């Protein structure tokens, strides 16, 4: 793959999730300032209900993507149809469970009625997004990253514009949910059309597997991705439900702000790994792809988290209003940001293990066990320690996963030297923390906070790039 193609793919992948993050960044202040902190906490819980439907494909979208990467196009088509069948069947019980989770004992009567009306369009949006997953997997495997970026931009624009208009006309959570549903329809319809332009034989409707053997192999291959999705969903989304059952909704909103800020920042940065998928699949390019992906992702996340936690406080206040002033936010931001940096160090390694390992479980098992540790700490400690338990559980589980993944990768890839590969991220974090600590007291107000955050991120990322270059020359 040419350097120009790599740059275009990485840029498109970043753009795709940058606009997604921007949509979230804009919707949150719209809800916070128009409906208040408690409604923002309720929307965080409703959003979790929609995202739960993302596991209804049972990992078969990932199996279809893997088949397409291996140029097994007929098998990929069949797996797309089977994935749609899984979504059609599994989404019903997940939807019913999500509906039950939407009941909040701490909500007042008016907010409770608003939540009850918003559940249906929110779950419909989750189902529509889930239906597009197999098609997006095929587009990603075929390298259509710029197409995915354009579709995400169209969906994000629809969501933000409709949210603003509908909240102005009828301020309620139903307006926010309806905008999400419209966005999901735009993105999924575009994904189906784009995927079928690349391969007109892709099915539009659910299909039964052609044989028991095909079904068995599909479940076997998809089980790892499904387990990761379920574990991640529980670890990342259950925290909100646990807090909602034990803490005021304003505290839930504060945790949601920190979680959303960290999650979106990490998701944007990790597109470096997604864009290098083709290179990770080529043994001759795998080492350079892992080195590049770890340096890019680790450096960006380490610098970005330092910027967010230190000079970025004013930016968060302007973004989320009174929810950003809650005492729970700094603690959640510090612990979740640290967990994101640790996750960035192993993201590309996990992708390489999934593609080149003896089994997809080479990467899946450490991830799933880490999620289980996270959930156990959260469930066991939330009533006593609140945010400290749920955010601290995320950090502990992620550390466990990272150590295990690097150990497995070293046994499979003889060329892997963890300290050399992690050097850029360590340099970025050190420089960004030092600069952020010094500049934090000067970052008063929105403009200065934004400027300082951008500066810290750029300087930290530059430190990562220089370190990566020095290590490459030395080796």
Co-location of 143 and 222 in the same domain: yes
Co-location of 162 and 291 in the same domain: no
Co-location of 178 and 53 in the same domain: yes
Co-location of 408 and 450 in the same domain: yes
Co-location of 220 and 254 in the same domain: no
The per-residue pLDDT for 50 is 83
| Number of domains within the chain | 2
| pLDDT greater than 60 at residue 12 | no
Looking at 226, 260, 291, the residue that finishes a domain is 226
Looking at 226, 256, 272, the residue that finishes a domain is 226
Report the chain's terminal Cα–Cα distance, integer Å: 22
182: in domain: yes
Looking at 226, 261, 296, the residue that finishes a domain is 226
Closest CA to 443 of 329, 315, 304: 315
Determine what percent of the chain falls in helix, strand and coil, rounding each to the nearest 5: 85, 0, 15
Give the C-alpha separation, 333 to 305, whole Å. 9
Give the C-alpha separation, 41 to 320, whole Å. 11
Quote the pTM value.
0.72
Co-location of 209 and 257 in the same domain: no
237: in domain: no
The per-residue pLDDT for 169 is 94
Closest CA to 143 of 282, 265, 310, 339: 282
45: in domain: yes
The per-residue pLDDT for 198 is 94
| pLDDT greater than 60 at residue 73 | yes
Give the chain's length.
Answer: 475
Share of the chain above pLDDT 70, in %: 91
Average pLDDT over residues 270-289: 72
The per-residue pLDDT for 107 is 75
235: in domain: no
The per-residue pLDDT for 14 is 58
| pLDDT greater than 70 at residue 13 | no
Range of the domain at 340: 247-475
Closest CA to 138 of 206, 232, 186, 72: 72
Give SS3 for 438.
Answer: helix
233: in domain: no
The per-residue pLDDT for 404 is 95
Residue bearing the bigger pLDDT, 410 or 323:
410
The per-residue pLDDT for 184 is 96
Closest CA to 141 of 187, 84, 195: 195
241: in domain: no
**Averaged confidence pLDDT in the chain:** 86
Co-location of 397 and 431 in the same domain: yes
Give the C-alpha separation, 308 to 330, whole Å. 10
The per-residue pLDDT for 11 is 59
Residue bearing the bigger pLDDT, 181 or 410:
181
Each residue's pLDDT tens digit, 110-147: 888 999 899 999 999 999 999 999 999 999 888 787 88
Co-location of 170 and 300 in the same domain: no
The per-residue pLDDT for 193 is 97
Co-location of 219 and 165 in the same domain: yes
Share of the chain above pLDDT 90, in %: 40
Average pLDDT over residues 5-17: 57
Co-location of 174 and 263 in the same domain: no
The per-residue pLDDT for 426 is 92
Co-location of 87 and 205 in the same domain: yes
| pLDDT greater than 50 at residue 439 | yes
Co-location of 172 and 310 in the same domain: no
Average pLDDT over residues 277-297: 79
pLDDT-based confidence at 9, cuts 50/70/90? low
The per-residue pLDDT for 1 is 47
pLDDT-based confidence at 5, cuts 50/70/90? low
| pLDDT greater than 80 at residue 234 | no
Each residue's pLDDT tens digit, 177-223: 999 999 999 999 999 999 999 999 999 999 988 888 888 887 877 78
236: in domain: no
Each residue's pLDDT tens digit, 332-351: 999 999 999 999 988 888 88
pLDDT-based confidence at 272, cuts 50/70/90? low
242: in domain: no
């Amino acid at each position: 793959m040419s350097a120009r193609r790599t740059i275009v793919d990485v840029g498109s992948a970043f753009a795709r999730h940058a606009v997604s993050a921007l949509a979230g960044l804009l919707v949150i202040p719209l809800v916070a300032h128009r409906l208040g902190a408690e409604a923002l906490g309720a929307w965080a819980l409703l959003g979790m209900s929609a995202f739960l439907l993302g596991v209804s494909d049972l990992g078969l979208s990932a199996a279809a993507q893997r088949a397409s990467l291996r140029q097994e196009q007929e098998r990929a088509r069949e797996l797309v149809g089977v994935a749609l069948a899984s979504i059609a069947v599994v989404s019903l019980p997940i939807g019913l469970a999500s509906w039950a989770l939407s009941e909040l004992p701490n909500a007042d009567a008016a907010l409770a009625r608003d939540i009850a009306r918003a559940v249906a369009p929110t779950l419909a949006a989750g189902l529509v997004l889930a239906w597009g997953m197999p098609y997006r997997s095929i587009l990603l495997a075929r390298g259509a990253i710029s197409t995915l970026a354009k579709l995400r931009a169209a969906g994000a624009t629809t969501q933000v514009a409709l949210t603003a208009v509908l909240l102005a006309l009828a301020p309620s959570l139903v307006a926010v949910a309806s905008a999400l549903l419209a966005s999901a329809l735009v993105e999924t319809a575009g994904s189906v059309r784009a995927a079928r332009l690349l391969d007109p034989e892709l099915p539009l409707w659910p299909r039964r597997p052609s044989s028991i053997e095909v079904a068995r192999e599909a479940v076997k291959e998809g089980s790892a991705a499904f387990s990761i999705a379920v574990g991640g969903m529980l670890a990342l989304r259950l925290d909100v439900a646990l807090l909602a059952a034990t803490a005021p909704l304003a505290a839930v909103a504060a945790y949601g702000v920190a979680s959303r800020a960290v999650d979106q920042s990490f998701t944007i940065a990790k597109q470096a790994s997604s864009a290098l998928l083709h290179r990770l699949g080529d043994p001759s390019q795998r080492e350079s792809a892992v080195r590049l992906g770890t340096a890019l992702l680790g450096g960006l996340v380490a610098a970005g988290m330092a910027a967010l936690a230190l000079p970025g406080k004013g930016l968060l206040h302007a973004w989320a209003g009174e929810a950003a002033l809650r005492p729970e936010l700094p603690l959640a931001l510090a612990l979740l940001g640290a967990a994101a940096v640790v996750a960035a160090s192993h993201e590309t390694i996990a992708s390489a293990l999934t593609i080149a390992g003896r089994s997809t479980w080479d990467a899946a098992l450490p991830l799933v066990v880490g999620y289980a540790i996270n959930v156990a700490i959260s469930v066991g400690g939330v009533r006593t320690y609140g945010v400290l338990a749920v955010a601290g559980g995320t950090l502990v589980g992620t550390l466990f996963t990272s150590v295990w993944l690097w150990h497995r990768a070293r046994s499979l890839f003889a060329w892997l030297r963890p300290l050399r590969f992690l050097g850029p991220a360590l340099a970025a974090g050190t420089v960004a923390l030092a600069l952020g600590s010094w500049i934090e007291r000067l970052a008063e107000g929105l403009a200065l906070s934004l400027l300082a955050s951008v500066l810290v991120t750029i300087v930290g990322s530059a430190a990562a790039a220089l370190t990566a270059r020095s290590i490459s020359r030395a080796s």
